Structure 1
Amino acid sequence: MEYINDINIQEAVIHILDNNSSEPVLNEYTLELTEDIYKFLHKHIEKCLKDEELKTAVFNSERNIVKEIVQDYLNGVDSDILGLSKELARQLFLIMKGNVNIPSCDLIIVSLVTDVGPMIGILKMDYVKNFTHSVEFVNDKIGIGIVPQAAGLPASSQRIQKAAFIKPIREDNVFDLYVIDKQKKSNDDDEYGANYFMNSFLGCSIVANKRDMTKTFLKASEAWTRSNVSENAEQAEKIRTTIKSKLKEEDSINIEEVSKELFKDNPTQKQDFEIFMKDNGLENEVSVDKAWVEKKLKRVRLKIDKDIDLYINEEAYHDDSKFEIQRNGDGSINMIIKHVINYIEK
Structure 2
Amino acid sequence: MFEIGKLEFLKAVIHVLNVENDTPLCSTFEVDQEDSLTFGFIEAGLNSILASKDMKWGRFSEADSVVKASCNILSENLSAFMDMTKEISYDLFKLMKENPSMPSGDLLCVLFLMDDVPYLGVMKYNYKTFLTRKVEAIRDGQSISIVRDSSLFATNRHKADEGFVVHLMHMDIALLDKKYEINGDKVNYLKENFIKCESGNSEKEKLDIFNKVTKNIEDKYIGEDLEKKAKIKKAVYDAVMEDGALQVEKVVEKAFEENDEVRHIYKEALSKAGIADEEIEVTESSLKRKYEMQKITTETGIEIKIPVDYYGDDTKLEFVSNGDGSVSIVIKNVGSLQS
1:201 Cα shift?
1.5
The answer to whether the aligner puts 1:197 opposite 2:190 as a matched pair is yes
Q: Secondary structure at the match of 2:27?
A: coil
User: What does residue 219 of structure 1 align with?
Assistant: 211
**CA 1:137–1:294 in structure 2 vs 1: closer, same or farther (change >3 Å)?**
closer
Distance (whole Å) between structure 1 residues aligned to residue 94 and residue 266 of structure 2: 46
Once structures 1 and 2 are overlaid, which stretch shifts more, 192-201 or 89-98? 192-201
Distance (whole Å) between structure 2 residues aligned to residue 72 and residue 93 of structure 1: 21
Distance (whole Å) between structure 1 residues aligned to residue 131 and residue 2 of structure 2: 39
Note if contact 1:9-1:42 (Cα within 8 Å) is conserved in structure 2: no
**CA 1:267–1:10 in structure 2 vs 1: closer, same or farther (change >3 Å)?**
same
Distance (whole Å) between structure 2 residues aligned to residue 231 and residue 40 of structure 1: 50
User: What does residue 270 of structure 2 align with?
Assistant: 277
**CA 1:35–1:189 in structure 2 vs 1: closer, same or farther (change >3 Å)?**
same
Distance (whole Å) between structure 1 residues aligned to residue 109 and residue 158 of structure 2: 18
The answer to whether the aligner puts 1:64 opposite 2:53 as a matched pair is no
**CA 1:10–1:139 in structure 2 vs 1: closer, same or farther (change >3 Å)?**
same
* Residues 90-148 of structure 1: CA deviation (Å, up to 9, x unaligned): 22123223333322222111123336943111112221112322345789887643222
* Residues 25-68 of structure 1: CA deviation (Å, up to 9, x unaligned): 22101123523323332323222222111110000123333123
**CA 1:46–1:231 in structure 2 vs 1: closer, same or farther (change >3 Å)?**
same
Note if contact 2:232-2:255 (Cα within 8 Å) is conserved in structure 1: yes
**CA 1:138–1:28 in structure 2 vs 1: closer, same or farther (change >3 Å)?**
closer
**CA 1:160–1:64 in structure 2 vs 1: closer, same or farther (change >3 Å)?**
same
Unaligned runs of 5+ in 2: 322-326
The answer to whether the aligner puts 1:28 opposite 2:6 as a matched pair is no
Structure 2 counterpart of 1:305, one-letter code: I
User: What does residue 176 of structure 2 align with?
Assistant: 180
Unaligned runs of 5+ in 1: none
RMSD (Å), alpha carbons: 4.0
**CA 1:154–1:274 in structure 2 vs 1: closer, same or farther (change >3 Å)?**
same
The answer to whether the aligner puts 1:106 opposite 2:96 as a matched pair is no
Structure 1 counterpart of 2:215, one-letter code: A
**CA 1:253–1:61 in structure 2 vs 1: closer, same or farther (change >3 Å)?**
same
1:328 aligns with one of 319, 325, 335 = 319
TM normalised by structure 1 equals 0.74
Q: How many residues align?
A: 322
Structure 1 counterpart of 2:174, one-letter code: Y
**CA 1:196–1:248 in structure 2 vs 1: closer, same or farther (change >3 Å)?**
same
**CA 1:303–1:11 in structure 2 vs 1: closer, same or farther (change >3 Å)?**
farther
**CA 1:240–1:334 in structure 2 vs 1: closer, same or farther (change >3 Å)?**
farther
The answer to whether the aligner puts 1:299 opposite 2:288 as a matched pair is yes
Distance (whole Å) between structure 2 residues aligned to residue 269 and residue 51 of structure 1: 34
Distance (whole Å) between structure 1 residues aligned to residue 164 and residue 12 of structure 2: 14
**CA 1:166–1:325 in structure 2 vs 1: closer, same or farther (change >3 Å)?**
farther
Note if contact 1:113-1:119 (Cα within 8 Å) is conserved in structure 2: yes
Percent identical among aligned pairs is 18
Once structures 1 and 2 are overlaid, which stretch shifts more, 300-309 or 227-236? 300-309
1:244 aligns with one of 237, 240, 252 = 237
**CA 1:152–1:260 in structure 2 vs 1: closer, same or farther (change >3 Å)?**
closer
1:325 Cα shift?
4.9
Distance (whole Å) between structure 1 residues aligned to residue 90 and residue 119 of structure 2: 20
Note if contact 2:239-2:247 (Cα within 8 Å) is conserved in structure 1: yes
Note if contact 2:112-2:120 (Cα within 8 Å) is conserved in structure 1: yes
Note if contact 1:58-1:206 (Cα within 8 Å) is conserved in structure 2: yes
Q: Secondary structure at the match of 1:242?
A: helix
1:15 Cα shift?
1.2
**CA 1:166–1:72 in structure 2 vs 1: closer, same or farther (change >3 Å)?**
same
1:262 aligns with one of 255, 260, 273 = 255
1:205 Cα shift?
0.9
TM normalised by structure 2 equals 0.75
* Residues 293-325 of structure 1: CA deviation (Å, up to 9, x unaligned): 47467635536235658699xxxx879xxxx85
Residues 224-239 of structure 1 aligned to structure 2 (within 5 Å):
224=216, 227-228=219-220, 229=222, 231-239=224-232
Once structures 1 and 2 are overlaid, which stretch shifts more, 262-271 or 82-91? 262-271
User: What does residue 46 of structure 1 align with?
Assistant: 47
Structure 2 counterpart of 1:93, one-letter code: F
Note if contact 2:124-2:163 (Cα within 8 Å) is conserved in structure 1: yes
